Amino acid sequence: MSLDPKSVILAAFKAVDNADAEALLDMMADDITQIDEISKKWSRGKAEVAAVVRPMFDLVKSIKSSISDVHVQTSNDIAIVTFMLDQSYVFEGQQVAIVAPTSCVLRQEKGVWKFVLIHTMPFADA
């Protein structure tokens, strides 16, 4: 039985918190596009995303993620999931805490929801 889109999001952030790059990458479609606050750039395609994600877990430690205000909209084989991401981690020896509105698009491939877009950028510090 495949996971529903919200459960896929929760599983992805569990993989992030566990610094499990391979589990996270397994949840992504080959044509994934993503942006994040560490790389500050778009990564397109699974190989490019992997080149960002794998080394990220060497730089970022003690990740703790919490999501709230989750909204899932599905239509056929596409799901749009929006939520607030509260996350803390250690980066280059410094404790970081972010609040980031996040949007993900998932597509069903052979009955399994896969990420095709991950867009998360934190609010600027006031």
d(CA 24, CA 32): 12
Helices and strands counted in the chain (H then E):
3, 6
Over the chain (126 residues), the average pLDDT of each successive run of 10 is 88 97 97 89 96 92 97 96 96 92 96 96 72
Secondary structure of residue 16 in the 3-state scheme: helix
Q: Are strands 28-35 and 112-120 parallel, antiparallel or unpaired?
A: parallel
Q: CB-based contacts of 2: which residues, under 8 Å, 6+ apart?
A: 108, 111, 112, 113
This prediction's pTM: 0.91
| Residue 125: predicted pLDDT | 65
| Residue 126: predicted pLDDT | 47
Distances from the Cα of 59 to the Cαs of 20, 25, 44, 53, 89, in angstroms? Answer: 13, 18, 21, 10, 10
For 101-126, write each residue's pLDDT tens digit. 999 999 999 999 999 999 998 886 64
